[in-house]
Structure 1
Amino acid sequence: MTALDRSISDIVLIVDDVPENLALLHDALDDAGHTVLVATDGESALLRARQSLPDVILLDAVMPGLDGFEVARRLKADFTTRHIPIVFMTGLTETEHVVAAFAAGGADYVTKPIRPAEVLARIAAHVQNARQMKQARSALDAFGQATVAVRVADGRLVWQTPLARRLLRDFFAAAGEDAPLRLLDWIHDAELARREGREPVGLLAADGSRRLLASFHDQTGDAEWLVVLREENDASAIESLIAAFRLTQKEAEVLYWVTQGKTSKDIGDILGSSPRTVNKHLEHVFEKLGVETRTAAANLAMSRMRSGSA
């Protein structure tokens, strides 16, 4: 299949089993500068959508075989196509059919007979919204943010960045559209903490020396939350302390275990050193951090590790 150049025009997929409707819409959209793809039945519509990932889909509600409502449900159930806005085309203006269109995942609808000017206006609005969402996700991906959008009402992952998908797979063996139960429980607990004026607990999961931390980013809709995930482990934390405070490897290791509440004897046992040597490293750490106590050093180190800055 020839790659479509999205830098030249937006891609619109029209799905209709009536040739006259396809011809009318194709000509209007083509004249307006859109790249137009067509499908005449539900199965081919699903195939075209997955292959080309159009910017918007114009979908006939009533077709033989797989109707538009079922096509929409399948598109919205697929991670690769669920972000695509769907505009239903229907002559069925009764309330139950309009409700069915939105329930199936439609973003909008137009009624037949089709008025090309109205269709063009609707497409322009939805393409713009979809483009802004795509840019936001691309920005998150580019900065390595592990971010998920979770719809709490049904426990679904609305979308997730590649890094978030990897972390959820690593920690929870999650590989579908359902949010891990531990993540949903964390959201409920964190929401309660926020309502009560408490700081939500950041720890989501632990696996040996690896820890998965979570924090709220924003609420994108009714009961839909953006959650930022961050992996932390002993090695990466020690590396961040080295970079942040220009510590030696041993000094950073000592400081890290101080943040974990370990005594000099405990740290000596972990690192294979004497408590005297540990205390000597601590003197150098205090000097480099500009502090005088273990508590002050630990607080400063934990603040730097939480911020992720180095």
Structure 2
Amino acid sequence: MMEVSASNGTVLIVDDTPGNLALLSDTLSEAGYRVLVATDGCSAIEQIQYVKPDIILLDVMMPGIDGFETCSRLKADPATAPIPVLFMTGLSELDDLLRGFGEGALDYIVKPIRPAEVLARIEVHLTQSRNLRRAESLLDHHEFAAVAVDAAGDIVWLTPAAREWLADFSELQGTASSADDVLPETLQGWFQRWLRQSGRNASEAESDVHRLAPGFALRVSACQNPDEYLLLLQREDAQWTPETLRDKLKLTFREAEILMWIARGKTNKEIGIILTTSPRTVNKHLEHIFEKLGVSTRAAAVAMVLQRG
């Protein structure tokens, strides 16, 4: 999917009425936006596969699939779900707008179209969308493990570091990882007990740091979204030394050094820099470590360190 650069952003207008298309296109072009046009939902969805708009103005009543179904399909696709959608509708259709919000639309514009209102709403929602993308990008590129869940323990969103934390925790527990769906069983059980103990104010409450297993801890932080809970996942910084790992696990000193840094979350490249050796040499030592410990993955090796430590 191609990203399009523009001074103010790219707006896709989806409407089968020529007069509305002309008015909106002229208004947005004069305001510095790049304008894309589609006359029905199917062509809009197809067009977005090639050019990704920053925001979509979507008519409710159209031939073929209507605006509701178009919005539903866009929100079901991870590649297009983040794009803000604003419905355009006549006054007689306002009762259907609740359905539109349920499909994932952010706002609506009442026809007949008033250019100043359209520009104001677009500016507000584009600003919010860009701020959200900046925040998500910051989380994605930093080692910040956070996961938001609903009261059932279903995952609403999570950072890449949280996905890795949950996968490692699941492997330690000997259960299949479901990091993109629901919490692992042990974590789910703890979370449900915490909910019951917190009572009605759970959505505003915060927990102390809780140690789930050696090396894995978390706490619950207040979440701004109603009926959602933010879990901040932590890896405990165990104070292993190469000497203790060498003696407990019957490794060479260099193998113990490498395992210590792996247990602290370092990559082969980072370990190579720390120990002034190449990542390939680190990987070779890692193969010997796996063989001696009787494991086949880094997570399993770390789990053994945690259990023995």
The bucket for the TM-score relative to the shorter chain is: 0.5 to 0.7
**Cα shift at 1:168:** 4.9
Whether 1:142 and 2:141 are equivalent positions in the alignment is yes
Rounded Cα–Cα distance in structure 2 between residues aligned with 1:96 and 1:181: 41
Equivalent pairs counted in the alignment come to: 239
State the identity %.
Answer: 42
Specify the alignment match of 2:151 in structure 1: 152
Rounded Cα–Cα distance in structure 2 between residues aligned with 1:50 and 1:159: 24
**Cα shift at 1:138:** 1.3
Q: Is the 8 A contact 1:79 1:159 kept in 2?
A: no
What secondary structure, in the 3-state scheme, does the structure 1 residue paired with 2:104 have?
coil
Which range moves more in the overlay, 139-148 or 119-128?
Answer: 139-148
Q: Which amino acid aligns with 1:31?
A: E
Specify the alignment match of 2:29 in structure 1: 30
Q: Deviations over 1:157-177 (max 9, x none)?
A: 44333333455566454376x
Specify the alignment match of 1:82 in structure 2: 81
Q: Deviations over 1:26-52 (max 9, x none)?
A: 121111112222222212322344544
Specify the alignment match of 2:58 in structure 1: 59
Specify the alignment match of 2:72 in structure 1: 73
Q: Which amino acid aligns with 1:159?
A: W
Rounded Cα–Cα distance in structure 2 between residues aligned with 1:71 and 1:175: 29
**Cα shift at 1:184:** 5.2
Q: Is the 8 A contact 2:140 2:160 kept in 1?
A: yes
Matches within 5 A, 1:86-125: 86-125=85-124
Q: Is the 8 A contact 1:193 1:199 kept in 2?
A: no
Q: Is the 8 A contact 2:60 2:68 kept in 1?
A: yes
Specify the alignment match of 1:220 in structure 2: 224
Specify the alignment match of 2:243 in structure 1: 250
Q: Which 5+ residue runs of structure 2 have no aligned equivalent?
A: 171-175, 252-309
Rounded Cα–Cα distance in structure 1 between residues aligned with 2:29 and 2:222: 38
Specify the alignment match of 2:5 in structure 1: 5
Q: Which 5+ residue runs of structure 1 have no aligned equivalent?
A: 243-247, 255-267, 274-310
CA-based RMSD: 3.3
**Cα shift at 1:146:** 2.8
TM-score (norm: length of structure 1): 0.64
Specify the alignment match of 1:283 in structure 2: none
TM-score (norm: length of structure 2): 0.64
Specify the alignment match of 1:179 in structure 2: 182
Specify the alignment match of 1:280 in structure 2: none
Q: Is the 8 A contact 1:152 1:184 kept in 2?
A: no
**Cα shift at 1:225:** 2.5
Rounded Cα–Cα distance in structure 2 between residues aligned with 1:105 and 1:191: 28
Distance 1:227 1:29, change over 3 A: farther
Q: Residue 191 of structure 1: which of 192, 195, 198 is its match?
A: 195
Specify the alignment match of 2:292 in structure 1: none
**Cα shift at 1:75:** 2.1
Distance 1:198 1:91, change over 3 A: closer
Distance 1:189 1:231, change over 3 A: same
Distance 1:136 1:114, change over 3 A: same
Distance 1:134 1:90, change over 3 A: same
Q: Is the 8 A contact 1:15 1:41 kept in 2?
A: yes
Whether 1:229 and 2:227 are equivalent positions in the alignment is no
Q: Is the 8 A contact 1:148 1:226 kept in 2?
A: yes
Q: Is the 8 A contact 2:208 2:220 kept in 1?
A: no
Distance 1:34 1:150, change over 3 A: farther
What secondary structure, in the 3-state scheme, does the structure 2 residue paired with 1:225 have?
strand
